[in-house]
Structure formats: structure tokens, C-alpha cells
A = this chain, B = another copy of it.
Amino acid sequence: MGSQDKALRERAAKVIPGGMYGHQATGLLPDDYPQFFAKAEGAHLWDTDGRRYLDFMCAYGPNLFGYANPEIDAAYVRQLSIGDAMTGPSPKMVELAEVFVGMIGHADWAMFCKNGTDATSMAMMAARAQTGRKTIVLAKGAYHGAAPWCTPRPAGTTKEDKANQVYCSYNDIESLEAAVAKAGDDLAAIFAAPFRHDAFIDQALPDPAYAKRARELCDQHGALLVVDDVRAGLRMARDCSWSLTGVEPDLSTWGKCIANGHPISALLGSDRARKGAAAIYATGSFWFAGAAMAAGLETLRLVRETVYLERIVSLGEKLRTGLAHRAAKAGFGFRQSGPAQMPLFLFDDDPDLRKGFCWSSAMLERGVYVHPWHNMFLCAAMTEADIDFALDAAEASFGVLEREAGGLAPVEKMAFLRG
């Protein structure tokens, strides 16, 4: 840990509970990972001690076209000077809804909000209002946000917060059918991640038969299908991620990169969910602000007009192939799961992640920020040379791991994974 980062942590420990909170707290990362960053540009981050990293987290998703993208930020700043948070929305809101709906196959309408959790909460409420029913089917372990009804940590929640929820296993048709049967005549919606991107375990692409069955079950039971595309949206397709499975949801949730990191999220829906969506009361002080909408319009233009998607897939495949080759050469069982542009890396026989932590720290030391247990994200600002740089770092890091593997200490803070 650098001295500046250490000093900031000491100050933070006084004025922020636990020193940091939420998904950007580094408590479950190797000790040498910086908590704070001083600067970001394109595909790179600088920590407060001046060290530069090629960043494979992309702000946990928001960075799709490069940090401080000049075109997108210019659109934001331009609208800021015209009108951002006002007493009513700007015309940009209508324009963004039209453009976004025009790009997403299943969508007839859009509502904008700030957090991914806002969008998933609204999807749940809209489905309940539309159907007059309560029960939601969700996959065990899937992350749909951090409100009391969905937060993965029980502290401060009550059992009523998660009432009217039934769980299935992702990609397991029988468990999905059993969950739907359990919901009986009260099924309001089936929630689905576009692929399994839970932390700590291998990712899994959606089985098209599972997606199709979810659609059928919703249709048979008069329920709504929700695809939570907050994390993966626009990195899998220029449409809803499940368009790749041929299945259209009734509701989809969006956030993260839809304005390349400017704060805006969205619920999109079909006419089958419009009445429910119109009935709910959901709002926020900054939801109607124009600047993030202007940035969203510019981001969506780049989505339509550039080869960003082909680029991140191609760079992701180059990275995946190169890593597989280097891991095999070094003799490690190194599992790369999920889409190449949103990879997750896990080592075989690594129950408390001691290998993953050692390798990730070695990567960090070589200027490449990878995550040892969360899926990562590629962005369109990355280059072939960046991937070569990462692969060189990986080769050296596998070497470090080879030398140290025999004597690695247990990672006590990850011991919960063993249980």
C-alpha cells in the first residue's frame, strides 16, 4: 500500500464507517490494492501514489468508451450549462427515451433513474402493479442491487424485506419450474441475470433453453419476464443481452455504462408492462436532470455508430487465448469464465483464493488491475498493445506464483469461501 493511500485510509477510517462501504471497499481485496484513485483516462487509472494501472474493472462497468471520453463528457458539460436538475425534465428526456427504446427490441417505453437498484426495484413494483400479484422468482446468489429487498448482506434487514420471493438455480430448468410452481397463482415476475455473473464462482452464459422456458412460464402464468441488464447491458449486444438467446423480456433494467459513467439508470419495458409502470410511484431528486441524459444520448450514438462491441469482444478473446496459453505453460488450472469482454478468473484448487490473490497482486505490481473474484470489464479505449502489456504482466505473474505457490499463507479474510 502506498503512503498516500495509507494516509487517506487513516483519514477515512475516522469519518466513514468501516473506512469505506459498498462494492468499492477494498476490504476483500489483497492488502496492496489501492483504496483510492487520483485520476482516470481512457483505459487507465492512477492511484494516489502516482502508480498507473491498465484497469480491467472499468469502474465496475460504467467505463465502456474510456474514462473522460471527450465526446460524451462534452455532451454532459454542454447540457450542464443549459439545464441539468430543473423544476421539470428537459426535452433530452424524451429524446433519450425515443432513442433507447428504438435500439432495444422488446422495449416500447423507458423510465430513467439513478441507481441500478432503482431500476430493479421499479421492475419489481411495475410487475406487481401490472399483475396484481406479489411473488418474484429469482436465481439464488444473483445480485439485483442493494436495497433491503435484494441486498446480499442481511445486516439491517428484516425477514419481511425478502417476503414474496422464491429462489431457483440459474440455468436449471427444473428448479425454475419448481419455483414457479411454488409461486402458484401469485407469480408476478421471473427475474433473470443476462448470464450468471455472481461473485466468487465461475460465470455461466445463459442456456437458451432456460431463457426460452422462463419466457414460456411467464406467458403461461400471465407473469412478466425481467432481464436485469444493469451490469452487462451494451457489453453483450446493442440490444438487450438476452437478444442473443432469442428471448425477449417484458422489462429490462439498465445502468452502469449507458452514459459511460455519468449517473443514470433505466427501466425499459414493453406495452405488456406499461400500465403497471405508470401506476407505481418512483422518483428521485436528480432523476430528471438533463446532463446525464445528454451523455446517454452521446453514448448510445457511439454504441450505434462504432465497432466498440466487436472491439471489446476481439480484445477479450485475445486476452483469453493469451492467458490460457500462459497459464497452461506455467502448469496452472486457470479458469476463465463468462463472456470474453466480461471475464472472471479463478484458479483451480484455490478455496481461499491464496493463488488468486498472489497472482492478482503480481499483476497489480506490474501495472494491471485485475479482480480476484468479481467479473471484470473491457472497454473500447483498450488497444491491442494494452492486451499485450497485460499478457506480459500475466506471464511474469504466473512466474511469481510458480515460485511462491508452495508457501502461500492462507487468506484469512476469504476463509468464509471454504465453508
State which residues 96-150 of A face B: CB under 8 Å. 97-98, 101, 108-111, 114-118, 121, 124-129, 134, 146-149
Known: A83-B39, A156-B126. A281 touches B22 (CB 8 A): yes
Known: A12-B97, A17-B278, A81-B68. A23 touches B87 (CB 8 A): no
> Does A387 make an interface contact (CB < 8 A)?
no
> Does A412 make an interface contact (CB < 8 A)?
no
Question: How far is it, in angstroms, between the C-alpha of A292 and the C-alpha of B80 when the chains are bound?
Answer: 13
On whether the beta carbons of B283 and A15 are closer than 8 Å, the reply is no
> Does A8 make an interface contact (CB < 8 A)?
yes
> Does A249 make an interface contact (CB < 8 A)?
no
Contact of A89 among B11, B35, B127, B292 (CB under 8 A): B35
- In the bound complex, residues from chain B placing their C-beta under 8 Å from that of A57 are 87
- In the bound complex, residues from chain B placing their C-beta under 8 Å from that of A152 are 281
Count chain A residues whose beta carbon lies closer than 8 angstroms to a beta carbon of B: 111
On whether the beta carbons of B263 and A156 are closer than 8 Å, the reply is no
State which residues 271-316 of A face B: CB under 8 Å. 274-289, 292
For residue A268, which residue of chain B has the nearest CB? B15
For residue A371, which residue of chain B has the nearest CB? B87
On whether the beta carbons of A89 and B24 are closer than 8 Å, the reply is yes
- In the bound complex, residues from chain B placing their C-beta under 8 Å from that of A40 are 82-84, 86
- Mark contacts of A228-270 with chain B using CB atoms, 8 A cut-off: 1 yes-contact digit, 0 otherwise: 0010000000000000000000000001100001110100010
On whether the beta carbons of B63 and A73 are closer than 8 Å, the reply is no
On whether the beta carbons of A91 and B121 are closer than 8 Å, the reply is no
Contact of A73 among B81, B91, B98, B277 (CB under 8 A): B81
For residue A47, which residue of chain B has the nearest CB? B88
> Does A328 make an interface contact (CB < 8 A)?
no
4 smallest beta-carbon distances between A and B, as pairs: A22-B283, A125-B156, A153-B281, A18-B278
Report 25 cross-chain contacts, Cβ distance below 8 Å, ordered by A residue. Answer: A12-B97, A14-B98, A16-B109, A21-B280, A21-B283, A22-B287, A24-B287, A36-B90, A37-B88, A38-B82, A59-B87, A62-B85, A77-B80, A84-B261, A114-B114, A114-B263, A114-B284, A121-B148, A124-B148, A124-B156, A151-B281, A155-B281, A160-B161, A261-B289, A263-B289
